[in-house]
Structure 1
């Protein structure tokens, strides 16, 4: 596990920025951060859409502060250990979808592809926005793109059959 001077898992803001410690993984911290988000997002899927939306938007707004604070302490914009943005990206991926673990696994995989590859316009946004807003919004956009892909999959007969079987 990596350590960073100025950050402490005892500080609630740092703890959230580091994804409850998942961002300290020595390899693939974004993937481990997204994996750590799975139980939270699954629990959120049990909420009604309005409550899910409110929680997701609050996590986004608070995340701007959380991520900026951690980045300032680390002296690096969007350090890989800062993974709260992955939590929120997965929330956007799964917004208004059924509470289905198979679908959540698929959402996890699709989100990781968008977050790692950063196709346009995600890459454009990632290069132009800085601070907490920049850290958060490229993952929000990756989550929105992932959500669209999941909706397209579910709109097909294969996707709806798969969901019914899962």
Structure 2
């Protein structure tokens, strides 16, 4: 069971790292974090692709700092409630995908599968790369893998 520290409700950095509180879910915080990213994808999907990618790039850079700082403050590397990385990983998954609820669902499933199973090199990154960069990087790679699957699906259908 996930136990979220009280600081996430008082500290805006922790609140963001915990995905606006979605990472405080009592179980499966990564799944809840990814679900919380879907409405933001809907909003981002209205942007031109270049601006969408810029937002994801900025969210990644900010996420490295947010996740690293929150991890240090909590004294736990990659606390399960830190889900900003799931937000960014999902948004990477959905880059250049026209919004539909079906696409949002398939993207959710694809991203969660890669994030949970952690095929090579995701598991290695998760275990060996420290700090905020490490917290973000495994989800970035999972997002790239899921993006590939989603775009293959779009191409075939």
Taking structure 2 as the reference length, the TM-score comes to 0.95
Q: Which residue does 1:60 correspond to in 2?
A: 60
Moved over 3 A (4+): none
Measured in 2, the distance between the counterparts of 1:29 and 1:3 equals 10
Structure 1 stretches lacking a partner, 5+ long: 160-166
Q: Tell me the number of residue pairs that the alignment of Structure 1 and Structure 2 aligns.
A: 156
Contact 2:90 2:143 (C-alpha < 8 Å) held by counterparts: yes
1:11 deviates by 2.4
Compute the RMSD of aligned alpha carbons: 1.2
Shift of the 139–120 alpha-carbon distance from structure 1 to 2, 3 Å rule, reads same
Q: Which residue does 2:124 correspond to in 1?
A: 124
What does residue range 135-150 of structure 1 map to in structure 2 within 5 Å? 135-150=135-150
1:21 deviates by 0.7
Q: Which residue does 2:101 correspond to in 1?
A: 101
Taking structure 1 as the reference length, the TM-score comes to 0.90
**Counterpart of 1:19 in 2: which secondary structure?**
coil
Contact 2:60 2:88 (C-alpha < 8 Å) held by counterparts: yes
Provide, for residues 104-152 of structure 1, a one-character-per-residue CA deviation record: whole Å limited to 9, x for no partner: 1100011000000001111121122110000001000000000000111
